[in-house]
Chain A
Amino acid sequence: MSISPEVQLILLAWGTLVGLDLVSVPQMMIARPIVAGPIAGAILGDAVTGLQLGVLFELFQYDILPVGAVRYPEYGPATVAAVSAAHAAAGTLGLGVGALVGLITAMAGGASLQAVRRLNTRAVHRAAAALESGEPRTLERLHVAGILRDAARAAIVTAIGLGLAQLARDSLHGTLSPRGVVLLNVASVGAALAAGTAGTLRLIGRGPGLRWFAVGLVGGAAAVWLR
């Protein structure tokens, strides 16, 4: 299924906003996959796939804690690209293809964050004298340039992701056997559940939170059984 250039442009704009939200402006968590995915799905007229991949990548997101200068993958634009890739196939069929595209895009997004931070560092280094003398305009210019750099970065990452989605649609669909598609789906959902559980437990640690986690787990399992 092809996606029109207009829709691709809207996805690109959404991915850029999502990428900008992660670190720069305004950190209101539209960068979370659980938000980025469903809205990408709505843009494509496929909210179900958007929600499914949003949940899947939200689990991967639990694997990281963005503290200090730690390096981490970027799952927001990745989810947008994943939804675009998965949209070609209906329902669960597209999850695996979407996850593959999304994880590669997330890795590229993480690397691009480091690149922008290095560019920002160079700009700050060059303006050191003006900053030391408290030049307000230099300060503002550096800050705005940093935000614009991040916006350009987010747009490039989303464009790469959407390009990969197109490539995956063209190369994988029809090439993979039905069994292959199932394998890809099992791998993507299994990896997400494993990453989400391990990440959550790392976050909770061995303290009293572990007891509350166990209580929640039992409650969640009971709810599953009752449904």
Chain B
Amino acid sequence: MSTAGPPARPSLGRALLRLFTVQGSWNYERMQGIGMGVSEQPLIRDLAGNGTAYRAAVARAAQFFNAHPYLCGLAVGATARAEHDGVPPEQVVRLRTALCGPLGALGDRLVWAGWLPLTSGLALIGVALGLGVRAVLGFLIVYNIGHVALRWWALRAGWTYGGRVATALREPVLQRATTLSAPAMALVTGAALPLVAQSLASGFVGWTRAALAVVAAAGFALLWWRRARLTGLRFGLVLLALATLGGWLWH
């Protein structure tokens, strides 16, 4: 390993911009690997070694990778820093491989099962309460403040910590956000459902409202009971096909 001081931090902006496309070439062989390689390029372009070290680093950067897209920057920054620090190639590869699982699990909990349904639930509440398009705009702005902040934090933390990147994953703010996001999401989506139901049912009167309650309750029971096999899409399609048939027959 090199004993010289820490490498000058390259401009992270270009890498961040490329990270917004990290899943653009998603495939079953390397999953996000190609996007990871493209995102890491601006950070490793100035590696010493007359182009040889750069090419070898690019080849490593483009290998199989799969994690949450918003947190890929952590791996990009960490491996780029490790390449600059002269960490042996096999250790760089091990570092990337070791990051897949934790970054995937953390991102899924924090974003897909936390921040996204939380903010989307707030938007649904806003629409149901009559805020209309303002609620939608609010969702886009608030969600993306968190989104861009997370991507930027991940890339910067990755570069800062390099091979010790696991330390970044133990940062108190991140731990607290992960702990709070699940109950907050549950509270908001719980509140959104009755309000949305009322809003959507406002056009129904008399027996149609009772029929709607029966269909929703029976559908929920069926989807819950057969959750391993039946999806909302399939259930919706079957129900709508039956309703169309019924509509043709029932004049």
Contact = CB atoms under 8 A, between A and B. Distances in A.
Q: Do they bind each other?
A: yes
B174 to A, nearest CB: 19
Contact of A192 (B188, B189, B236, B244): B236
A205 B208 CA distance: 32
Contact of A195 (B59, B133, B223): B223
B186 interface: yes
Contact of B243 (A27, A134, A187, A216): A187
B20 A27 contact: yes
Interface in B14-40: 20-21, 23-31, 34-35, 37-38
B69 interface: yes
A135 B56 CA distance: 9
B239 to A, nearest CB: 4
Contacts of A42: 133
| Contact residues on B (Cβ < 8 Å of other chain), bracket | 35 or more
Given A32-B120, A125-B29, A143-B38, A183 B233 contact: no
Contacts of A189: 200-201, 204, 212, 216
B240 interface: yes
Contact of B240 (A27, A65, A69, A100): A100
Interface residues of A, number: 112
A83 B250 CA distance: 26
B13 interface: no
Main secondary structure of the interface of A (DSSP, over half): helix
Contacts of B113: 65, 203
B182 to A, nearest CB: 5
Contacts of B243: 96, 180, 183-184, 186-188
B251 interface: yes
Contact of A180 (B23, B235, B244): B244
B55 A56 contact: no
Contact of B198 (A25, A215, A224): A224
A176 interface: yes
A227 B198 contact: yes
Interface in A43-77: 47, 51-52, 54-56, 58-69, 73
Contact of B190 (A124, A180, A188, A217): A217
B108 interface: yes
Interface stretch (A5-13, A154-162, A206-214): A206-214
15 contacts: A23-B24, A26-B21, A65-B112, A134-B54, A180-B247, A183-B243, A186-B211, A186-B243, A188-B240, A193-B212, A193-B220, A196-B232, A198-B227, A212-B190, A220-B192
Interface of A: 23-30, 32, 34-35, 38, 42, 47, 51-52, 54-56, 58-69, 73, 91-92, 95-96, 99-100, 103-104, 106-107, 110, 117-118, 120-121, 123-125, 131-136, 139-140, 142-147, 150, 172, 175-177, 179-204, 207-210, 212-221, 223-224, 227
